[in-house]
Amino acid sequence: MTPAIDIHNLTASYERKPVLWEIDCQFPQGKLIGIVGPNGSGKTTLLKNIMGLMKPDSGYIRIFGEKLDKVRHRVSYVPQRETVDWDFPADVMDVVLMGRYNPKKLFGRISREDKDIAIEALSRVNMLEFANRHISQLSGGQQQRVFIARSLAQKADLYLMDEPFVGVDAASEDAILNLLTEMKNNGKTVVIVHHDLQTAYEYFDHIALLNTRLVASGAAEEVFTSDLLQEAYGGRLTVLSRIGELIAKKDFPIREKGQEEN
Amino acid sequence: MYALWNTLGLDEPNMRWVLFGTAFLSAVSAWVGTFTYLQKKSLLGDAIAHGILPGVAGSFLLSGQKNAAYIMIGALVWGFLTVLAIEWITRKSHLKPSTAMAIVLSAFFGLGMMLLTQIQNSGLPDASGLQSFLFGQAASLLPSDILVYSIFALVALIVLLALYRSLTFVSFDKAGAQSMGFSPQTSGTVLSILVVIATAIGIQSIGLILMAALLITPAAIARMWSQRLWTMLMLAGGIAAVSAISGSLISFSGKSMPTGPWIVMVLFFIFGFSVLFSTHRGLVQRAFQKRKNRQIIQRENLLKALYHLREQKGEQAEFTFEEIQKKRMFSENDLQRILGMLKRKKWVLQGKNGWTLSGEGLNEGRRITRLHRLWELYLSQKMRLKEDHIHPIAESMEHIITEDLEAQLLHELDYPELDPHQKRIPYDTPAKS
C-alpha cells in the first residue's frame, strides 16, 4: 500500500533559521501516528510543510503518492488551538460548518447536507448540545473538540492534528482519544503532533521521534528504546543549532544552486 | 410631520437622492470595514484614506473639473499605491506594518496637501470647493456623483458577497483556511482593494480625514451587541446608514457645515452609548453584576454567621443584633439592610429576643457552611495547603461553587464528616435523624 505520507529529504526553516534537517521518512496508512519530540524540535514545522503552509528549502512530500493539491480534499488539518481568534463572532455550528466551505465556489452556500454532516461531526465529539454556544464561552477542551468536529466535517482520509491534547481537561482527552481510535478502525490515518512522552507510547502505533533531525521513525515498540529517547530528548546538537543561527543572521542560502557533483 | 419633511429639504428629489445615496455608500463602507476589523487591520482604512489625497487632487489638476468618475480613478490608483508601498516596506525592512502605515500615510497626505494648495492658487473655477474632499460636504453632491459612487459601491458589495466565506474563514483561522485550499494572500489583496473602494466612495460625503471612522466604528459598535458575524454585519450596516442620514441632516440645517464631522459625532455618540449599555460586556451591565455579586456575598455571609451561632448556642436560640455583629463584622447599616432583605424573603424570622433562621434560611446557611468546610478539606487534602492558609480561600470560594462542582467535590472527597479543623461538615439530613 502506498504510504499515507512520504517525506523526502526535507529541510525547512522558520524565520530563516533551519529547524528541520534532511527529514526522510514514511507514514503508513490506517494507523495512529505520533510526531514526538521536545519543545522547539520542529514538530509543528513538519506538519506545516506537509500541509503546504510553508515552503521547504529542499526536498518534497507526497501524500497518498500524489502532490498535495491533487489530494487536498482527502486531507484535513487541525492547527494548534491558540493560533486562532476564539473571540471571533461565531458560534460552534458556524465553526464546524467551515469544514464544508469550498474554496472553488464563489457565492458559496451551505446546503442541508452540509448541515447534517456538521451535526453528525458535533455529536461524534459529544458537543451537539453546544451547537449554538458562542465559541468564546467554551473551555479549552471543548474548543479543541469543536476544532476536531470541523475536521471531521471535511470527510477526509488523512487527518493531521497539532497538539490536540494541550490544555484539555480529562473528559475531553478521553473523548478525543476514543474518537481517534474509532477513526483508525474506520481505516483513517491520523497523524498527531505530541510533546508528552508519558502518554505517547500508549496513544500511538507508529512514532516519529524528532529533534530538528529525525531520530527514529517506526512502530512504537521499536522506537521507544531508552537509547533513542535519550538521543531525542537529551539535548540539542550544539553545532547544528549554531550553524542554524549563523544562516539566519548572515542571510546565507541553505541550498546552493548548481552544486558540485559528489 | 410633513412640515418637518419640508424644512429638512426632503421634498426635493435631489435631497432624497443625496441622503439615501449617502446611507447606501456608508453601509457598504461599514461592511468592508467589518472585515478589516475582524482581521485586526483597523488602521489600514485610515492609511488608505489619507494616502489617496494625491490621487484626488491629481485627477482635478489633470481634468480641471470636479468629476466623480475622475476622482474615483485617481483615488483608486493612489489607494493601490498606498497599499503596495506599505506592503513593500513591511516586506523589505524589519518594520512593523503599523510603522510602515504611519510613514506612508503622512508622506502621501503631505504630497496631497501640496497639490491641493497648488490647485487653490491656480484660480481654476472649481477650485474653491476642494475643501469638501477633506471633511465632506454631502449637500454639494449631485445625483450623477451619487450614481458613480454607487456603481463602485455595488461592485464592492458583489465582490464581498462572492468572497464572504473565504474572508470569514481566513479572518478566523488563517492556517486552517489555507490548508483547505483558500488563499490568504488573495483574500488579503482583495480586501485591500475593497478598502480602497470603500474609502474612495465616501470622499465627498464624509471626507478623507474622517473616513476611517465609518469603516471601523460601526463594526466596533456592532460587535458589542452581537455574537455572530451575520447579525454583526446587519447592525454595522444599519448603524452606518442611520449615522450618515442623521449626520447629513444636522449639517444641512447649518450654513455650509461639513458633513463628515457630524456623521462621526453621531457614530461616536452611539459608540459611547454602547460602551455603557451593551449587552455584551457593557459597563452598566457589569456594574449591575458586581452589585448583585456583592449582595449575594453579604447575604450568604449573614446566613452562615447565623448558622454558626446556632451550632454554638442551640437550635432554639434567637440572636441579637450585637451577637451577630460579634460573630462577623457587619456595619450597622449593612446588617440592618441585609436582615431586612432576608426577612422579606422569609429566610430569617424576627422573634421576641432577636433573629433566627427559618427552614429555608437554615438550608441555605447549612449549604454555605458545608461548601466552606468542603473546600477547606479539598485544599488541605488535594493541594496539601497548611491549615492556617485555607480559611481565607474558602471564604471566597464558598460563594462561587455551583451545584455541579459541589457534587464533584463530594464525590472526590467521598462524603467526608469532618473538615481539617475537626468541625462537622453539615448535610441536609433525612427526616428520621
d(CA B342, CA A29): 67
| Chain A contact for B229 (CB, 8 A cutoff) | yes
For residues A6 and A26, the answer to whether their CB atoms sit within 8 Å is: yes
> At B402, which amino acid appears?
T
Task: Write down the pLDDT at residue B128.
Answer: 64
- Extract the residue ranges of chain B whose pLDDT is less than 70: 1-11, 124-129, 255-256, 430-433
B-facing residues of A in 79-108 (CB < 8 A) are 79, 83-85, 88-91, 94-95, 98-99, 101, 103-104, 106-108
Distances (CA, A) of B128 to B114, B137, B257: 15, 13, 15
Report domain extents, chain B: 16-280, 285-357
Task: Write down the pLDDT at residue B432.
Answer: 38
DSSP, collapsed to helix, strand or coil, labels residue B207 as: coil
Distances (CA, A) of B362 to B52, B190, B358, B410, B417: 72, 66, 6, 20, 19
Task: Write down the pLDDT at residue B53.
Answer: 92
Q: How far A78 CA lies from chain B's nearest CA (Å)?
A: 7
Please answer yes or no on whether A89 and B232 come within 8 Å at the CB atom: yes
Which residues are bridge partners to A191 per DSSP? Answer: A33, A160
Q: Using CA of residue B80, residue B83, residue B86, residue B87, what is the dihedral sign?
A: negative
Domains of chain A, start order:
5-250 (3.40.50.300)
B107's CB contacts (< 8 A; 6+ apart) are none
Task: Write down the pLDDT at residue B117.
Answer: 86
Distances (CA, A) of A245 to A22, A211, B199: 17, 16, 44
Average pLDDT value for residue range A205-213: 92
| Chain A contact for B180 (CB, 8 A cutoff) | yes
Q: Identify all chain A residues contacting B169, using CB atoms and an 8 Å cutoff.
A: 98, 101
- Lowest average pLDDT, out of A200-204, A237-241, A250-254, B206-210, goes to A237-241
Average pLDDT value for residue range A34-47: 91
Which of A78, A98, A107 is the closest to B161 by Cβ? A107
> At B106, which amino acid appears?
S
- Lowest average pLDDT, out of A17-26, A237-246, B145-154, B296-305, goes to A237-246
A-facing residues of B in 49-88 (CB < 8 A) are none
Please answer yes or no on whether A154 and B180 come within 8 Å at the CB atom: yes
| Chain A contact for B226 (CB, 8 A cutoff) | yes
Please answer yes or no on whether B166 and A103 come within 8 Å at the CB atom: yes
Q: How far apart are the first and last CA of chain A?
A: 33
Residues B209-250 pLDDT 10s: 889 899 999 999 999 999 999 999 999 999 999 999 999 888
Task: Write down the pLDDT at residue A260.
Answer: 64
> Is domain B16-280 in CATH 1.10.3470.10, yes or no?
yes
Q: How far apart are the first and last CA of chain B?
A: 76
Residues A123-141 pLDDT 10s: 999 999 999 999 999 999 9
For residues B413 and B374, the answer to whether their CB atoms sit within 8 Å is: yes
Torsion of CA B388, B390, B394, B397, to 10 degrees: 140
Q: Identify all chain A residues contacting B163, using CB atoms and an 8 Å cutoff.
A: 106
d(CA B77, CA B88): 16
Residues B38-57 pLDDT 10s: 998 888 999 999 999 999 88
Q: Identify all chain A residues contacting B164, using CB atoms and an 8 Å cutoff.
A: 107-108
Task: Write down the pLDDT at residue B106.
Answer: 95
Q: Identify all chain B residues contacting A95, using CB atoms and an 8 Å cutoff.
A: 172
Q: For chain A, how long is the longest CA-to-CA vector?
A: 63
Task: Write down the pLDDT at residue B433.
Answer: 39
Complex ipTM value: 0.90
Q: Where are the alpha helices (DSSP H) in B68-210?
A: 68-92, 97-122, 131-135, 143-162, 164-172, 174-179, 184-200
B404's CB contacts (< 8 A; 6+ apart) are none
Question: Which residue of chain B has the CA closest to A93?
Answer: B228
Going by C-alpha positions, the residue among B319, B317, B20 that lies closest to residue B146 is: B20
Average pLDDT value for residue range A3-14: 92
Q: CA angle at residue B303 from B297 to B309, to 5 degrees? A: 135
Task: Write down the pLDDT at residue B318.
Answer: 87
How many residues are there in chain A?
262
Chain centroid offset of residue B244 CA: 20
d(CA B351, CA A116): 63
Task: Write down the pLDDT at residue A15.
Answer: 77
Question: Which residue of chain B has the CA closest to A133?
Answer: B227
